[in-house]
Structures are given as structure tokens and as C-alpha cells.
Structure 1
Amino acid sequence: MSQIEMHAPAGFSPLNLDSRSLPVRAAAVIFGTFILALTSQVEVPMIPVPITLQTLVVPLIGALYGWRLGALTVLAWLGEAMVGMPVLAGGSGGIMAFAGPTAGYLASFPIIAALTGYLAERGWNGKRVGFAFASFLAANALCLVMGTLWLSSLIGMEKAIAFGATPFLIGAVIKSALGAAILKAASR
């Protein structure tokens, strides 16, 4: 009688955070929230939603930290924003950011961090750059869909697509390529 074994793909953990101590993981979360706050300040002002580096860094944290710790890091950063710390684009923070035009994008961030982390752990990572690119592109697409849906409740679907999705499409492709390249470098 033969036994069929299921093998999970080799995990991707360049930082190896899953096997680290709790203080090291806590430090990684704090460092991740700092990087998110810092890159949120790099923006191209647009109305109603600015272009920022968040949609590069959020999925990257997921892919590098793993889906659980990546999502937790993003949730911690959003928690900092909710209590009023100036960690969002333009140095904003406070509960009103979660009711304004960017709320849908913000709500997508922990989900897309978990998505890229989950996919990276299953081989969609720097060892397979095409898959890494696809995972970042899927994360950016999900962010745009969630952000546009929320924005449509404020300004209508036609305007939400025109101002909340279309201007970000080329940037999503570029950020996805850059994210895949960073993962490729990290896999070495």
C-alpha cells in the first residue's frame, strides 16, 4: 500500500520572523509601522485620493513578514492612525480618515498584506518573480476595487472610477514590478 504525501511548497521567509522571539517580532511590528508612516508621507497630491508609496509597502510587509505578522503590522499602523497619530498620507490621522474618501483603501490594507504574505509563503515570492509580480498586482487591484467601491458611495461610481481607480493603474503595475524586484533581492 502506498501512501500519498502532500508537500507544501517551500516557505518564503527572508526575515524568518515566525521563528523569532516575541520581542523580535514586536520590534518588527514597530519598525513596520514606522516604515509605513514614513512612506505614507511620500505622496503626489491628487483629489480625492493622493498617490503614495503605501500600495508598495503594505503588500511588501505582508510578503516579507508573513501573512499573520504582516496583517498585524498594518492593523497596528491603522490603530496608530485611529488614535490620531499623524501616520497617514499628508501627516493625517484620526478617526475621520476612516470615514472619508480614502477609507476603502485603508480598509483593504490589512487584507492585501495578508494576501501577499499568504501567497509568498506558497511560492509567489522572489524565487518566482512572475508570481510575485502577480501577487502584488492582485493586491493592488483589490485595493483599488475596495477603495473605489467606498469612494463611489461618496461621489458616485463613474467619478470614483475616473478619480479613484484609473489614475492609479499605471502606478499599480510599476509598484508591483518594484515589489517583485525587492522580493527577488530579498530571496538571495
Structure 2
Amino acid sequence: MNNLSTATASSAYVPLRLRDRPLALRAAVVALGTLFLAASSWVEVPMVPVPMTMQTFAVTLIGALYGWRLGAITVLAWLGEAVVGMPVLAGGAGGLAHFAGPTAGYLFAFPIAAAMVGWLAERGWTGRGNLLSSFIAMLLGNAFILVMGGAWLAAMIGVEKAITFGVTPFILGAIVKSALATASVEATRRAGKPTA
């Protein structure tokens, strides 16, 4: 059993290796992560009823870089900032109303998606330079967000409209953002490689 745990740990690639870092450093990293998530929210293509942003890129990347626990905590902290009215959501929005409107399903999915990608990263999906498994991990996170967001939207406006306006327009973006997150993790992996 110990050998299996050691093998899993050695195959994992969570670049920042934050699990055993001092609490103050982890808190600082969470704060920086919420700033990154806010910045990704401000990169926006206005659409109705759900805008297109870089949020899913940031959510999956944070999961892969931070690991499942700290990734989920970071996304939850960012959502907490939104709840109290800080301008951290799409278009600089904030406030509790966004957690009951058309975008709520996506918002609720974000911490779970970060945890999912982080969990896969800790099991080696984003390590060893395997770009395909890394891309699949990112794409699974994006797909989960679209499914949850689309399901919430379907309850509000019906299945057909939810697919038309809340899922289909985001599929290509999900693929591109998954590739971008994969490239970002790979660049981090290569930068962190010890030199001979």
C-alpha cells in the first residue's frame, strides 16, 4: 500500500507543491489566486444570458497548479468575495443576486471543477509531459461546468434555450481554454525542471 501511495505521489504533478507549505504562504497564494480569477472574469465577451469570460481557464488552471484542496478553497474564497459585493465576477460585477440568476449554475460548478482537475493532477494527469491526459483533465473540468451551468439555466428558461444560449456557444471556447490551460501547466512543468 505504501509503495502504491509513493508511486502515485511521484507521478503527480502539482507544480506549486503547496500542501506542506506554511499557512501564511498558502493564504497568500489563495489571495493571489482570487486576484487571478477576478482578472479572468474581467476578460469578457458580453452575451445573453451568460457572458463569455476566461473564468473557466482560470478555474481549471488553479486546480491543476494548486491541487484539489487548495484549488477548491481558492475558488470558494473568490466566490465569497463576490457574495459580499466585491467586483470580481464578469464585467466587474458582484453581489448575492448572481447566485440566483442565469449564471448561478456555472458559479456553483467552479469549485467542484477546480477540485476535479486538482484531483486528477495529483494522480499524474498533468505531469510527465503527457499533453493529452492534461488536456483531457482540463476539458473534463470545462465540460462539468457547462453541464452544471446548462442544467441550472434549463430550469430557468427551458432545455432547448439553455443548450442554444448557455452551452453551444461555449463549446469551442472550452476546447481552446483547455488547450491554453494545458500549455500553461506544461510551461510551468518545464520551467520547474532541474537542469543538469
Please, what TM-score do these two structures have when normalized by structure 1? 0.96
- Tell me the SS of whatever aligns to 1:20: coil
Q: Measure, in 1, the Cα distance between the counterparts of 2:161 and 2:79.
A: 26
Q: Is the 8 A contact 2:64 2:121 kept in 1?
A: yes
The answer to whether the aligner puts 1:62 opposite 2:44 as a matched pair is no
State, as a whole percentage, how many aligned pairs show the same letter: 59
- Tell me the SS of whatever aligns to 2:125: coil
Could you tell me which residue of structure 2 aligns to residue 150 of structure 1? 152
Could you tell me which residue of structure 1 aligns to residue 166 of structure 2? 164
How many residue pairs get aligned? The number is 186
Could you tell me which residue of structure 2 aligns to residue 85 of structure 1? 86
The answer to whether the aligner puts 1:136 opposite 2:118 as a matched pair is no
**Amino acid in the other structure paired with 1:177:** A
Q: Measure, in 2, the Cα distance between the counterparts of 1:5 and 1:63.
A: 24
Which has the larger displacement, 14-23 or 76-85?
Answer: 14-23
Q: Measure, in 2, the Cα distance between the counterparts of 1:71 and 1:149.
A: 21
1:27-74 deviations in whole A, cap 9, x for unaligned? Answer: 000000011011100000000001100010001001000100000000
Could you tell me which residue of structure 2 aligns to residue 35 of structure 1? 36
Q: Measure, in 2, the Cα distance between the counterparts of 1:74 and 1:4.
A: 32
Q: Measure, in 1, the Cα distance between the counterparts of 2:115 and 2:163.
A: 25
Q: Measure, in 1, the Cα distance between the counterparts of 2:187 and 2:123.
A: 18
Distance 1:45 1:123, change over 3 A: same
Please, what TM-score do these two structures have when normalized by structure 2? 0.92
Q: Measure, in 1, the Cα distance between the counterparts of 2:59 and 2:117.
A: 9
Could you tell me which residue of structure 1 aligns to residue 178 of structure 2? 176
Could you tell me which residue of structure 2 aligns to residue 44 of structure 1? 45
Deviation at 1:11? 2.0
Deviation at 1:107? 0.4
Q: Measure, in 2, the Cα distance between the counterparts of 1:136 and 1:4.
A: 29
Distance 1:15 1:161, change over 3 A: same
- Tell me the SS of whatever aligns to 2:8: coil
Q: Is the 8 A contact 1:126 1:181 kept in 2?
A: no
The answer to whether the aligner puts 1:25 opposite 2:26 as a matched pair is yes
Q: Is the 8 A contact 1:126 1:185 kept in 2?
A: no
**Amino acid in the other structure paired with 1:154:** M
Deviation at 1:13? 2.2
Runs of 4+ in 1 over 6 A off after TM superposition: none
Q: Measure, in 2, the Cα distance between the counterparts of 1:175 and 1:126.
A: 18
